[in-house]
Amino acid sequence: MSDNNSTPVTATDFIRNIIREDLASGKHQQIVTRFPPEPNGHLHIGHAKSIHLNFGVAKEFSGKCFMRFDDTNPVKEDEQYVEGILKDVRWLGYDWGKSQTHASDYFEQLYEFAEELIQKGKAYVESLNAEEIREFRGSLTEAGKNSPYRERSVEENLALFRKMREGEYEDGSLVLRAKIDMSSPNINLRDPVLYRIRKVSHQRTADKWCIYPLYDFTHGLSDSLEGVTHSLCTLEFEDHRPLYNWILAEVSAPCLPRQIEFSRLNLRYSVLSKRRLIQLVEEGHVEGWDDPRMLTLSGLRRRGYPASAVRLFCERIGISKSANNIEMNVLEDCAREELDKTAPRAMAVLKPLKVVITNYPENQTEEFEPARHPKNPEMGTRKVPFSREIYIDQDDFREDPPPKYFRLSPGKEVRLRYAYVIRCDEVIYENDKVVELRCTYDKATRSGAKAEGRKVKGIIHWVSTQHAVTTEIRLYDRLFSAPNPGRNDPEGNFINDLNPESVEIISDCKAEPELSTANPEDVFQFERVGYFCVDAKDSRPDALVFNRTVTLRDTWAKLEQEHSGQN
């Protein structure tokens, strides 16, 4: 968050409870956390949960949070992701100060720890190949077997390991393994691999190394080196905790952080695994990582979600260890809540229907000056021109109105927001299609004037045709049409569950002139319709493009749907 006020500690979850106890008992004077992404993809809303937890907790308890890149696998990682990740975390509102680190910063120390393990007879160089290692590992129900190389002498192991570092062996020919217990019921303890040979250049250390440590060896030691007190990660690492603790106990690690696991985020009608996100991008189902339908941070941003809405979302879903499947409307509602407070209002007609006000003078124009925000006068006012010809939305007219339809229909009246009450006198057709409405206005009903006895229930938005700005609007909806994409496919193929209507582009929308000066990422509430932001990539001053962030709540649509559902 950009403000410097300390956030009150209001959230209560099992992790914060542990931290409070550790602080109260004096176990820790200051808490230290870390957010450790691997630079091999972009951040999504699931990462936001972790960022919000790690940075949030550090801030709440006046601690510190490291921004650490877990870059131990150069074949998968790329420096280009680092920049994107940093940008996303910053956008979300977090600041790591000078505490940006890389696991690769510790390669030399990690190597020393590995030698220490060897010296203690707690690690050995393995000559079995990958397939043999797998076979020797046993299965979920069968114990593994000791490798024939398990009892190599310390001297031999040391010599071999040093030569591994020197580059004397080929990729995959040798690995360093921890010597723990091949019959452990926890497979992670069956002599896990600690180092492998990869003669590839690392994005940061270049060709300095040809052996790289694996996650289990690296993570706890990096935590320890940074003085992390609480190492927060997701549930799938629970089984790794004994190994995490084993490594820290066996070497002279500076401190012993406590790993605590929480459940990862699942959101209905979406996929969040990195693998699936990559597939969506690579197979072209979306435009890219920042496609507004993607729940990546860059996608949400481009969609128009303010960072505060994402933070609010993280706040609402909480932290626990139980499996969860959050309803999409929770996310959407967070956007509404934040945007309602901050978005200036404007009128825009998505699907224009021409209306001629027959009793309004031909060449007359007048201006209304409504507030930009109904509850926030500091946001000022805007000028909205009115004239004889206007556009209204096709949705706001029905030839044959259903019950409780408050909008325009033949012979009926509505109020034009901020302007006059009009009555529909005539409907003009062209090939059986309604193309124009002829209406008359009542001058006495001018906005602000007293017009007693005129109770017009319906209020619709409009735009003066001669003053309108033509824009493109992209109506986005959820990317998937199934609550759990891939769930009902035998192969788990989630592509079939893509929502074919996740985007509708309409190119001739009409907006009030005020919008002509809008800048990329500006968000507006198009009154009665929804929240829209200026697309950061495709919009140009003379050819505006808006993305729909989220619709307004629409009780009428709900009502109508219920009625039609009954028929």
**Segment interacting with RNA (CB under 7 A) among 47-55, 278-286, 334-342, 495-503:** 334-342
Q: Where are the alpha helices (DSSP H) in 120-273?
A: 130-136, 154-166, 215-225, 241-250
249 contributes a contact to RNA by CB under 7 A:
no
Spot the catalytic one: 145, 198, 264, 423.
264
Per DSSP (E only), the strands in 394-544 are: 413-416, 421-430, 433-442, 459-460, 462-464, 469-476, 503-511, 523-526, 530-534
When the beta carbons of 16 and 64 are compared against RNA, the nearer one is: 16
563 binds RNA (CB under 7 A): no
Among 6, 14, 21, 543, binds RNA (CB under 7 A): 14
Instruction: Pick from 8, 26, 411, 448 the residue near RNA by CB under 7 A.
Output: 448
When asked if residue 111 is in the footprint of RNA (CB under 7 A), the reply is no
- Residue 98, token pair as written in the block: 């000078």
Stretch that binds RNA, among 105-113, 130-138, 247-255, 511-519 (CB under 7 A): 130-138
Based on the residue annotation, tell me whether 59 is a catalytic residue of this protein: no
Residues 262-301 interacting with RNA (rule: CB under 7 A) = 263
- Residue 78 in the binding site for RNA (CB under 7 A): no
**In the complex, what is the shortest distance from the CB of residue 287 to RNA, in angstroms, rounded to a whole number?**
26
Choosing from 1, 9, 13, 154, the residue that interacts with RNA (CB under 7 A) is: 13
Question: What would the x/- binding string for RNA be over residues 495 to 514, using CB under 7 A?
Answer: --------------------
Q: Is there binding between residue 554 and RNA (CB under 7 A)? A: yes
Q: Which is nearer to RNA, 193 or 356 (CB)?
A: 193
Contact status, residue 283 vs residue 495, Cβ threshold 8 Å: yes
Catalytic residue among 20, 87, 122, 274: 274
Written as one string, the DSSP assignment of 197-217 is: E--S-BTTTBTS-SEEE-HHH
Active site residue 264: yes
Does 447 contact RNA by CB under 7 A?
A: yes
Nearer to RNA (CB atom), residue 109 or residue 320: 320
From residue 148 to residue 177, the character string flagging contacts with RNA as x (rule: CB under 7 A) and all else as - is -----------------------xxx-x--
Q: Which stretch binds RNA (CB under 7 A): 21-29, 78-86, 180-188, 224-232?
A: 180-188
Quick one: which H or E segment has residue 283? none
Residues 295, 270 contacting (CB under 8 angstroms): yes
Stretch that binds RNA, among 59-67, 82-90, 349-357, 523-531 (CB under 7 A): 523-531
Give DSSP secondary structure letters for 309-349.
HHHHHHHHH---SS---B-HHHHHHHHHHHHHHHPPEE-EE
Which region among 23-31, 147-155, 328-336, 386-394 touches RNA (by CB under 7 A)? 328-336
274 is catalytic: yes
Should residue 226 be labelled a site residue for RNA when binding is judged by CB under 7 A? no
**Which residue, 38, 34, 32, is CA-closest to 85?**
38
76 and 179 Cβ atoms separated by less than 8 Å: no
Cα separation, 114 vs 122, whole angstroms: 9
- DSSP category for residue 185: S
DSSP-based three-state secondary structure for 362: coil
**328-342 and 307-317 helices, crossing angle to 10°:** 140
Q: Nearer Cβ to RNA, position 226 or 291?
A: 226
Both tokens of residue 55?
């940075």
Q: Does 88 bind RNA (CB under 7 A)?
A: no
* CA–CA distances in Å: residue 102 to residues 111, 139, 553: 15, 34, 44
Least distance from RNA to the Cβ atom of residue 553, Å: 4
Tell which phi-psi region holds residue 447, choosing left (phi > 0), alpha (psi between -120 and 50) or beta: beta
Q: Is 214 in the site for RNA (CB under 7 A)?
A: yes
Least Å distance, CB 278 to RNA, is 12
Catalytic residues: 38, 264, 274
